[in-house]
Amino acid sequence: MIRALLERWRQKHRTVAYPAQPPTIPERYRGEPELAPEKCVAGCNACVAACPVGALALEDGAIRIDLGRCLFCGDCAAACPPGAIRFTRDHRVAARHRNELIAGTAERRLAKTLDEKMKSLFGRSLKLRQVCAGGCGACEADTNVLSTIVFDLGRFGIQFVASPRHADGLLVTGPVTENMALALKKTYDALPEPRIVIAVGACAISGGPYVGHAEVRNGADAVVPVDLYIPGCPPHPVAILDGLLRLLGRLDESR
Amino acid sequence: MAADPGESYPALTPDCPQAAGFEREIAEQWGVKPLGHPWLRPLRFHRSYRPGRDAWGRTGEDALLPSAMDFFRVEGEGLHEVAVGPVHAGIIEPGHFRFQCHGEQVLHLEISLGYQHRGVERALAGGPHPRTIHHMETLAGDTTIGHALAYAQAVEALAGCRVPARAQALRAVALELERLANHTGDLGALAGDVGFLPTASFCGRLRGDFLNMTALLCGSRFGRGFVRPGGVAFDVDAALLAELRGRLDATFRDVGGAAHLLWETASVMARFENTGTISPAIAVELGLVGPAARASGRELDVRRDFPSGIYRFAQLPLSAVDSGDVFARAYVRWMEIQRSVEFIRGQIASLPGGAVRAPCGPLAADATVVSLQEGWRGEIAHVAETDGAGRFVRYKVVDPSFHNWLGLALALRNQEISDFPLCNKSFNLSYCGHDL
């Protein structure tokens, strides 16, 4: 017992100061892209060709990246000689609607808060049931980590629960395999209303690296309606937390 | 390499139980029946690769529902069945577990997977494609480096590419960081499953500290984007190495403190010892790999037995104990944590100079390559076969979990059903690595 206490004293309090302080993001992290289409060389298609999942398009002199598909691998930036694409360290990538995930368009925006009624229900207490539907384990791991002492999700009133009957919402990962589509639908149906759905990671938004495979449904919204999209492969835990807190109106919308 | 077995062949499994999963896989993928297989059931619940050739005679119109099969049943007075999954209580991958119980005692556990099947191997044929490396990095997300490395090595062998020494060393550093993160997380999860919160809490954080060291190298906590055919995509400088060394030392100190609490706490050891025991003989019969095999006294480690890259020059001592129980599987992890830390310290102290990536050209035509790596769960095997144009005709992936799931099922025999989470975590197998 005394050893456990001594070790506890030695390892100290380790919960991050975020959101009061800015989060610690790795130096080489690839977050929200910054696009400079004016640098594009006429006729060059190198970024589009480099993208493994078809997330990029060049239209009318604009570069558009569908962050719902993007694996944030950086292959497009590496393939672009004039440097028209750069991945910043900005972790704020979540959005409420699918069309708000397209970087390089006027629709791209930070995730907005739930409407007043839903916010009054869930803003200070949100119970989530997680369903992995073909996810590789990375999105799941970086969602799970939010419940550790590092992020201490409970301090925001958010908690992962074991039964859909106890949950206000679903957090879905994975491209939704054919073999999980029924289980996902049944779990959703078991949630009491009103309910929300959060899609975490490129797979759950668009199919990710598996988009177009006959064995998957190309994302959660083929089976259930989605209220929040959090891109990444996988998203950094802070990116997931940012999305959840924005949805609940717990962050300053202007920042 | 090809053989036409016709519709069926005499099963190998009765004489060689290690073949059980492979023969089920062959039956499911190609519709070829192993006659006399003791338990021929689909593994992943997908359609045959050869339309019209289904080993179970399922027609094209039927929906293929996962776990739609007969389970092994024990019948008699007081016996009952417990079904768990595919959706589980925690944030974990889906799978179905069917227990045959007498009271609290588990007489038999059957594990039915396939829910995670994404059609990876089918998509790899005809490659390498731009997406291939991303399929490799997501075969099993917690083994991103391990699978990417096995793939890169296969491609480099086919292309005759010589990987610079600096890249070889950095790859091994990343592979050992992956091992450290997962082993540390497992020690914490094992503590959590016996209700011992100090170690559970410490290790939850410390696992992330190791992931953040991987992110220091490449920006991704799981090592996405780091390993590429020809070498690695990111170099390091002296400042980064010093930062890595400092973090490694501080984190290792804390992992040691957290791990020792386990071994010193009688209530933890009472749950770990003699729970979920796999005898050395069973470990051989099933062909277990990795820490699960080494915990049952099997001296197997790809880093020692088939070393590649920097492991040809820098060896790690093999970590094995022989009690085969949950304690053994936990303690092997702690031994490996210590050795991986020592190994990384050695590598960053004497990192070779030079480039970190060499050009990797077209692949040899009509060639076959076998590539092995010791991932944190054990042996990762990739086999690639190319056609006349140097494209993959077939690319086969064997995740260590493929060998070890049956080990978990047998570890549960005659155990209390309440010890299932603990036994499960002591193996901590991959669903998506199995389902592909």
Residue B170: which CATH number? 1.10.645.10
Hey, are the CB atoms on B135 and A209 less than 8 Å from each other? yes
In three-state secondary structure terms, B67 is coil
Residues in chain A within 8 Å Cβ distance of B234: 28
Question: Residue A245: what pLDDT?
Answer: 96
B125: how many CB neighbours lie within 10 A of its CB?
15
ipTM (interface pTM): 0.95
pTM: 0.96
Question: Residue B311: what pLDDT?
Answer: 96
Examine the pLDDT at B1 and tell me if it is beyond 60: no
pLDDT tier, B57 (very low <50, low <70, confident <90, very high otherwise): confident
Interface of A with B in 84-123 (CB under 8 A): none
pLDDT tier, B2 (very low <50, low <70, confident <90, very high otherwise): low
Residue from the list A11, A140, A213 with its beta carbon closest to the beta carbon of B93: A140
Examine the pLDDT at B63 and tell me if it is beyond 90: no
Examine the pLDDT at B228 and tell me if it is beyond 70: yes
Which residue in chain B has the smallest CA separation from A167?
Answer: B89
Residue from the list B216, B258, B264 with its beta carbon closest to the beta carbon of A26: B216
Residue A21 contacts B, CB cutoff 8 Å: no
CATH of domain A116-247: 3.40.50.12280
Average pLDDT rounded to a whole number, residues B57-73: 83
- pLDDT tens for B322-363 read 999 999 999 999 999 999 999 999 999 999 999 999 999 999
Q: What whole-number distance in Å separates Cα of residue B111 and Cα of residue A219? A: 26
Q: What whole-number distance in Å separates Cα of residue B143 and Cα of residue B313? A: 23
Residues in chain A within 8 Å Cβ distance of B133: 52
- pLDDT tens for A12-68 read 999 999 999 999 999 999 999 999 999 998 889 999 999 999 999 998 889 999 999
Residues of chain A predicted below pLDDT 70: 254-255
Residue A18 contacts B, CB cutoff 8 Å: no
Question: Residue B35: what pLDDT?
Answer: 96
Is B406 within the bounds of a domain? no
Between the CA atoms of B344, B330, A235 and B173, what dihedral angle is there, to the nearest 10 degrees? Answer: 10
Question: Residue A60: what pLDDT?
Answer: 83
Q: What whole-number distance in Å separates Cα of residue B273 and Cα of residue A88? A: 49
Is B55 within the bounds of a domain? no
Residue A213 contacts B, CB cutoff 8 Å: yes
Burial A11-50 (b: 16+ CB within 10 A, else e): beebebebbeeebebbebbbbbbebeeeebeeeeebbeeb
Contact assessment for residue B396 and residue B382, using Cβ atoms and an 8 Å cutoff: yes
Residues in chain A within 8 Å Cβ distance of B120: 210
Question: Residue A252: what pLDDT?
Answer: 79
Examine the pLDDT at B87 and tell me if it is beyond 60: yes
Hey, are the CB atoms on A145 and B208 less than 8 Å from each other? yes
Contact assessment for residue A173 and residue B115, using Cβ atoms and an 8 Å cutoff: no
Task: State phi, psi for A230 to the nearest 5 degrees.
Answer: -120, 100
B contact test, residue of A177, A186, A191 with most B CBs within 10 A = A177
Q: What whole-number distance in Å separates Cα of residue B241 and Cα of residue B57? A: 58
A63: how many CB neighbours lie within 10 A of its CB?
22
Is B166 within the bounds of a domain? yes
Share of chain B above pLDDT 90, in %: 91
Domain residue ranges of chain A, discontinuous segments joined by +: 116-247
Provide the domain count of chain B.
1
Contacting residues for B106 by C-beta, under 8 A, at least 6 apart? B99, B100, B412, B413, B414, B415, B416, B417, B420
The DSSP output letter for B317 is -
Residue from the list B115, B201, B215 with its beta carbon closest to the beta carbon of A177: B115
Which residue in chain B has the smallest CA separation from A13?
Answer: B202
Average pLDDT rounded to a whole number, residues B220-228: 97
Residue from the list A137, A179, A182 with its beta carbon closest to the beta carbon of B141: A137
pLDDT tier, B69 (very low <50, low <70, confident <90, very high otherwise): confident
State the residue range of the domain holding B284: 128-400
Residues in chain B within 8 Å Cβ distance of A51: 130
Which residue in chain B has the smallest CA separation from A171?
Answer: B91
Is B431 within the bounds of a domain? no
